[in-house]
């Protein structure tokens, strides 16, 4: 089942010590919003990884805010959102109930 991604205009980027994604709500029901508040310097690859290490969603993000998933599209559990931009990689845990 494909996971939807709706894009909105906001700024996005990863800079040293900045750029942590805002994820809300967290915990969620499988539908959440992901946004970053900094000016982008490089495209950012976002990957949502389940507890088995499978990539369940991936997108190349240039700028914006994204609504990921939909109610019931992600199984309950803990996911890792991996953000890769330039030479930096960051991970944030996301809980789906």
DSSP character string of 52-78: TS-EEEEEEESSSEEEEE-TTTS-SEE
CA 37 to chain CA centroid, nearest Å:
13
- Which tens digits make up the pLDDT trace of 3-50? 555 444 333 444 444 556 788 999 999 999 988 766 567 778 999 999
**Greatest Cα pair distance in the chain:** 36
Residue entry with tokens 């996971």 = 3
CATH number at residue 11: 2.60.40.3080
Q: What is the pTM of this model?
A: 0.74
Domain that holds residue 39: 5-96
Number of structural domains, the chain?
1
């Amino acid at each position: 089942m494909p996971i939807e991604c709706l894009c909105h205009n906001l700024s996005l980027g990863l800079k040293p010590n900045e750029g942590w994604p805002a994820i809300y709500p967290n915990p969620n029901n499988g539908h959440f919003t992901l946004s970053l508040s900094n000016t982008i310097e490089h495209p950012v690859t976002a990957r949502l990884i389940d507890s088995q290490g499978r990539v369940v969603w991936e997108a190349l993000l240039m700028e914006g805010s994204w609504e990921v998933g939909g109610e019931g599209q992600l199984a309950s559990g803990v996911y890792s959102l991996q953000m890769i931009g330039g030479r930096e990689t960051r991970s944030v845990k996301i809980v789906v109930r």
